[in-house]
Amino acid sequence: MKILLAIAVLSMFFQFHTEAQSSAQTKDFTFEKKAEIKISSIKKDWAPKLISLEAPFPGTQSFKHFLELIKKDIKPIKGYSNTTPSAAKTAAAPLPQVMSSFMGNDYDFSVPCDNDVAVSNNRKVISVVNSTIYMFDAENDVDTLMFDLSLDAFADTLNLTGGANNKYDPKVAYDPNEDKFILVCLNSSQDSNKTKIIVGFSQTNDPTGDWNLYTVDGNPLSTYTWSDYPMIAITDDEFFITINSIGVNEPWETGFKQTFIWQIDKYSGYNGNALDSRLYFDIKFGNKPIRNLCPIPGGSDLAGPNLYLLSNRNFAVTNDTIFVLEVTGLKDDPTTQLNIDFLLSPTDYGAPPNGWQIDGNFDLFLSTNDARILGGYLEGDQLHFVGNTAVYTDTVRAGVFHGRINNISNISEAVIIPGIITDDILDFGYPNISYTGSASGDNQAIISYNHVADSIWAGFSATSWNQHQGYSDRVELKAGESFVSILGSQFQRWGDYSGSQPLYNEPGVVWVSGFYGGTSLANDPFVNLTWVAELKSDYDPQTGIELPATETSEATVYPNPGRERFIVEFVNDEKRWMTFSIYTVDGKMLRLLMEEIVKEGENIFSFNVNALDPGTYFLQASDGNTLVFSEKVVVQ
């Protein structure tokens, strides 16, 4: 692995540009509590899922066409490099120590993974992916599965229409000040009337206990749009969600309209009161909307009352602009405003190439999407952030862009110090970062990321960094066990993000979650799986030497008791809305499982039959006028 550092120079900043070209508006909302649930009391989990096996033909409106046009321009440029090998590290930081690791969420007929993780001070772990929530008890060095459920079951009492299964893009965070969790997922893509942001606040530190559930409007301005790609951060007093607003019947790449910021009183959510919320919208620079705002949480503790958010030019082949936004105070403070500035990095980032898989038959790639900022933290007056990037040397690889912004509180004097993590063989994707220092001025971090190569199956890795020694070599957290091939396309989903959080009461310890290829517990081959790991920094800033290793626990994995799924493969002649329902033998509808737009071509629908009592049933799919299929379901 190569760690290539750029020479730090003062980032250029032009105050008159931001004053002349930036803008934003606000609007206040109140959202009542919709439901209260006790996770451990959930008995039935239908977990319906729909996967389209054939991607749309790449025409002018196809998202594949859009991204691949960009990636065709990602090729070596004679005389150009965005790395500086002459500034290579002078000392290698110690590897992150792997304290424990285990398989997280099993494959559950959903892509992409969308990994995230949160862990409480008493080591209760929530691992989420695009279809399921797993809750582990990691006390006493044993990782015990406490409970697992689908996103659909989590939100079932909300009675949301627009696709009973269409819950997606989960994010989860732990609040060390209140010793509670917050979980977010989205409801109903491609429907401007039914799009919602589902927000759950735990009432205690027991994730299997009681939660307060809310729905935040996914189309707050009543336009023909839906919400996509949430990012979240907790501060001392508030909770922030950023969301992308996408045009209905448009792909996320080309249908983007704007990014919203939601500023919410977190105490109202914990207490079950109405959520007082502020929406920031029409956020622009140069009369163009700023896209994919990444809220930056605190490092060793929560940030606040202000919050920084970062963005960049995520689709650019090469670019140096980093947008720096700041919500300056609490929602109820009349002086609070949204500042919009930018810095220029001395080292360019750019949209990365796709990761090339090994499969032995034909070319398979893992999609890297773009160069958006995926994670970060604020510690003192230094802000760290990471994202995907193209790495230009004599070839082009997908790597990790790690940026540090010094003097963040005085933007006119701020400095970006960039670093790039790359490898001669491997492509890296979907990094995240957490603080691992132990005292004021102890600048340390662990960066986790997915890896793949045309000779190495997709797995999960991490690298440590400290201000004195730079970067460590790569430690492999989980080796891939196979290639990934779920969709009927060369391009398989790989992200869209990964999870990372410090264990707040144990300085230097970080929990991470990421992606690897393998076979599911139900023997589904070539699928995306989740790996969860507990890592520890081995650098002592007082002595400048590596700390002695402690014994690493062997993971005790208690796998998902198993969802016995009923699976139907069918060919859809045209793109259309369809409903999938369970009927009794006497024709009574027992459950509407899903209402969703089904793509043309081969599709798979499945659900968990463990939610049914023994008997005979029928699974029927209809477009409202025509019965597409009716399949007998026999439960012993």
In a domain? residue 553: no
Based on the fold, state whether residues 540 and 570 are members of the same structural domain: no
Q: What does the pLDDT look like over 506-520, one tens digit per residue?
A: 999 999 999 999 999
Q: Is the pLDDT of residue 610 over 80?
A: yes
Question: In the structure, what pLDDT confidence band is assigned to residue 439 with cuts at 50, 70 and 90?
Answer: confident
Q: Is the pLDDT of residue 624 over 90?
A: no
In a domain? residue 555: no
Yes or no: say if 390 and 371 are a contact pair by the CB < 8 Å rule.
yes
In a domain? residue 440: yes
Q: What does the pLDDT look like over 214-235, one tens digit per residue?
A: 999 999 999 999 999 999 999 9
Q: What does the pLDDT look like over 532-584, one tens digit per residue?
A: 999 999 866 655 555 555 444 433 333 344 568 999 999 999 999 999 999 99
The pLDDT, as a whole number, for residue 171 is 99
Region 238-256: what's the mean pLDDT?
A: 91
Based on the fold, state whether residues 593 and 474 are members of the same structural domain: no
Domain closes at, from 546, 577, 609? 546
The pLDDT, as a whole number, for residue 76 is 61
Based on the fold, state whether residues 169 and 37 are members of the same structural domain: yes
Based on the fold, state whether residues 589 and 606 are members of the same structural domain: yes
- Residue 279, strand partner residues: 27, 262
Greatest CA separation found in the chain? 76
Strands 589-598 and 545-546: unpaired
The pLDDT, as a whole number, for residue 141 is 67
In a domain? residue 158: yes
C-alpha 180/C-alpha 207 separation (Å) is: 8
In a domain? residue 554: no
Based on the fold, state whether residues 480 and 387 are members of the same structural domain: yes
Q: Is the pLDDT of residue 6 over 50?
A: no
Which residue range is the domain that position 629 belongs to? 49-60+565-635
What CATH number should be reported for the domain holding residue 357? Answer: 2.120.10.10
Region 243-253: what's the mean pLDDT?
A: 87
CB-CB neighbours of 506 under 10 Å: 15
Segment holding 232, helix H or strand E = strand 225-234
Based on the fold, state whether residues 304 and 254 are members of the same structural domain: yes
End-to-end Cα, the chain, rounded Å: 53
Closest CA relative to residue 157, chosen from 41, 34, 30, 32: 34
Based on the fold, state whether residues 461 and 573 are members of the same structural domain: no
C-alpha 609/C-alpha 81 separation (Å) is: 54
| Coil vs helix vs strand at 153 | helix
Based on the fold, state whether residues 369 and 397 are members of the same structural domain: yes
Region 422-444: what's the mean pLDDT?
A: 94
Instruction: Identify the residue whose tokens are 């540009």.
Output: 17
Yes or no: say if 146 and 228 are a contact pair by the CB < 8 Å rule.
no
- Residue 461, strand partner residues: 449, 476
Based on the fold, state whether residues 85 and 55 are members of the same structural domain: no
Yes or no: say if 186 and 171 are a contact pair by the CB < 8 Å rule.
no
In a domain? residue 602: yes
- Residue 97, strand partner residues: 536
Question: In the structure, what pLDDT confidence band is assigned to residue 247 with cuts at 50, 70 and 90?
Answer: very high
Question: One-letter amino acid identity for 173?
Answer: A
Summary count for the chain: helices (H), strands (E): 4, 45
Based on the fold, state whether residues 37 and 53 are members of the same structural domain: no
Mean of the per-residue pLDDT values of the chain: 89
The pLDDT, as a whole number, for residue 56 is 41
In a domain? residue 557: no
- Residue 388, strand partner residues: 400
Instruction: Identify the residue whose tokens are 């109903």.
Output: 188
What are the C-alpha distances in Å from 69 to residues 317, 358, 387?
Answer: 11, 24, 21
Region 60-79: what's the mean pLDDT?
A: 60
Yes or no: say if 53 and 603 are a contact pair by the CB < 8 Å rule.
yes
Domain count within the chain: 2
Question: In the structure, what pLDDT confidence band is assigned to residue 8 with cuts at 50, 70 and 90?
Answer: very low
Domain closes at, from 480, 514, 546? 546
The pLDDT, as a whole number, for residue 556 is 36
Q: What does the pLDDT look like over 167-220, one tens digit per residue?
A: 999 999 999 999 999 999 999 887 899 999 999 999 999 999 999 999 999 999
The pLDDT, as a whole number, for residue 60 is 38
In a domain? residue 82: yes
Provide the phi-psi class of 47: left if phi over 0, else alpha when psi is between -120 and 50, else beta: left
| Coil vs helix vs strand at 158 | helix
Based on the fold, state whether residues 170 and 100 are members of the same structural domain: yes
Q: Positive or negative, the Cα torsion across 257, 259, 260, 266? A: positive
What CATH number should be reported for the domain holding residue 607? Answer: 2.60.40
C-alpha 407/C-alpha 521 separation (Å) is: 49
Q: Positive or negative, the Cα torsion across 410, 411, 414, 420? A: positive
Domain closes at, from 490, 514, 546? 546
Q: What does the pLDDT look like over 356-408, one tens digit per residue?
A: 998 766 689 999 999 999 999 999 999 999 999 999 988 899 999 999 999 99
Q: Which two tokens stand for residue 606?
A: 């499945």
What are the C-alpha distances in Å from 422 to residues 75, 431, 450, 514, 626?
Answer: 16, 12, 12, 18, 53
The pLDDT, as a whole number, for residue 539 is 65
| Exposure string for 205-239, b = 16+ CB within 10 A, e = fewer | bbbbebbbbbbbbbbbeeeebbbbbbbbbbbebbb
Based on the fold, state whether residues 458 and 472 are members of the same structural domain: yes
The pLDDT, as a whole number, for residue 5 is 46
